[in-house]
A and B are shown apart, each in its own frame.
Chain A
Amino acid sequence: IAGITQAPTSQILAAGRRMTLRCTQDMRHNAMYWYRQDLGLGLRLIHYSNTAGTTGKGEVPDGYSVSRANTDDFPLTLASAVPSQTSVYFCASSPKLAGGMNEQFFGPGTRLTVL
């Protein structure tokens, strides 16, 4: 049982290129999230999905898109990468039970550098 996996572990990308960060969970959690983590700024929510087939915007969604075709996968796409998107990206999931609180489980992260 892996929990949450992310790929790639790290990537160097030229500005203007398209990039998809992959995230897969095997816990059958309803909700999934993408965060970016920048030094001194903590974790900021990019996009989220409360259940398969639905997505929503977080605090910093511009320049990113997501899809949730099934329960397990939640890819994050940068359509045209810019240097300000250099960051560490974390995927998370949560069972998000009705009326329940929202403990989130995090993946190991993807370190992305945009040149």
Chain B
Amino acid sequence: GESVGLHLPTLSVQEGDNSIINCAYSNSASDYFIWYKQESGKGPQFIIDIRSNMDKRQGQRVTVLLNKTVKHLSLQIAATQPGDSAVYFCAETFPGSARQLTFGSGTQLTVLP
């Protein structure tokens, strides 16, 4: 079956640096992607989404890039802060899936002081 995966399970960055979290997806029919942030003991929280007709989308301190050619998306966090420490999940959905989300296994981001 199709799956969404992450290149790295953990990522450590210095406070103030930029973070880049990567995600590979295998279903070329996927047309909508979401990044979620999950802090310890809490449910996932929506960060940003992107549709397949876009290559880039920016939010507050976050940018998502989508490369459909290699089926890859990334989440960039500018000026990473201690509060950004969390597990980040990418999720995909595609037509015919009843718009259900398929989640990757997550990347643990740790912000170092």
| A and B are partners in one complex rather than unrelated chains | yes
- Looking at B12-20, B43-51, B72-80, the stretch in contact with chain A turns out to be B43-51
Chain A neighbourhood of B51, CB < 8 A: 101
A109 to chain B, nearest CB (A): 5
Which secondary structure characterizes the binding site on chain A? strand
Interface residue tally of chain A, by bracket? Answer: 20 to 34
A81 CA to B41 CA in the complex, in Å?
23
Cβ-closest chain A residue relative to B46:
A103
**Within the complex, which residue of A4, A41, A58 is in contact with B100, where a contact is CB–CB below 8 Å?**
A58
Q: A40-B105, A42-B89, A42-B106 are in contact. Are A108 and B100 (CB under 8 A)?
A: no
Please list the residues of chain B having a beta carbon within 8 angstroms of any beta carbon in chain A.
32, 34, 36, 41-46, 49, 51, 89, 91, 93, 98-101, 103-106
The interface of chain A, by Cβ under 8 A from chain B, is 4, 31, 33, 35, 40-45, 48, 50, 56, 58, 90, 92, 94, 96, 101-109
